[in-house]
Amino acid sequence: MENLNKILRIDTSARVSDSVSRGLVDAIIEHLSAEKAVQVEKRDVSKGLPFINEDWVGANFTPPEMRTDAQASTLAQSDQLVNEIKNADTLVIGIPTYNFGVPATFKAWVDLIGRAGVTFKYTETGPVGLMEGKRAIIALASGGTPSGSEIDFVTPYVRHILGFIGITDVTFIIADAMGQQAEEKIAAAMASIKQI
């Protein structure tokens, strides 16, 4: 279909029901689908991803044409995750703040897709992202951490890692520090979705 917006939806919250980040992602996709026909691919990393290990590192740093069948198998899920990004026009990622950082499953996703020569490359002037021309919209939720504060280690990390692989058009929809006035903050976040 011409003019189709291919969306990669990534959920990271351990909560499935009553998850603020998932609810915001729902609303973002609904808003985007009102503007243009969309095709949504879903990746729920809360269900678990493997952590990289010595076998994975060895396979990753072996040239593709020299990899054994076992090494190719070791990288199969990583390849799939990378292809999901490559096939997307827009990434919509729901991220709750856990203990001042991202959920461990999101960090596992980052480790699996952060591959030299695949999603970024090294040059004489430094690393260059290879996933350019894409947009990311991040639905961020936190119970007690104010976004942009000195204890917010989520927004700068997510912006940096996406930029590192070439995605620099990043928008945050934020419902933060919901330990107080949660309903008002969720409502404000929902309202801000209409501006994207």
Reduce the DSSP state of residue 108 to 3 states and report it. helix
Encoded amino acid at 89, one letter:
D
CB atoms closer than 10 angstroms to residue 86:
13
- 147 labeled part of a ligand binding site: no
20 annotated as ligand-binding: yes
Half-sphere CA count of 100, side-chain side, radius 13 A: 5
Where in the chain does DSSP place strands (E)? 5-11, 38-44, 90-96, 120-123, 126-129, 135-141, 169-175
Which residue blocks in 64-144 are alpha helix, DSSP H?
A: 69-74, 76-86, 104-113
Q: Is 4 exposed, middle or buried (0-12, 13-18, 19+ CB in 10 A)?
A: exposed
21 is an annotated ligand-binding site residue: yes
Task: Extract the annotated binding site for FMN.
Answer: 13, 19-21
Task: Extract the annotated binding site.
Answer: 13, 19-21
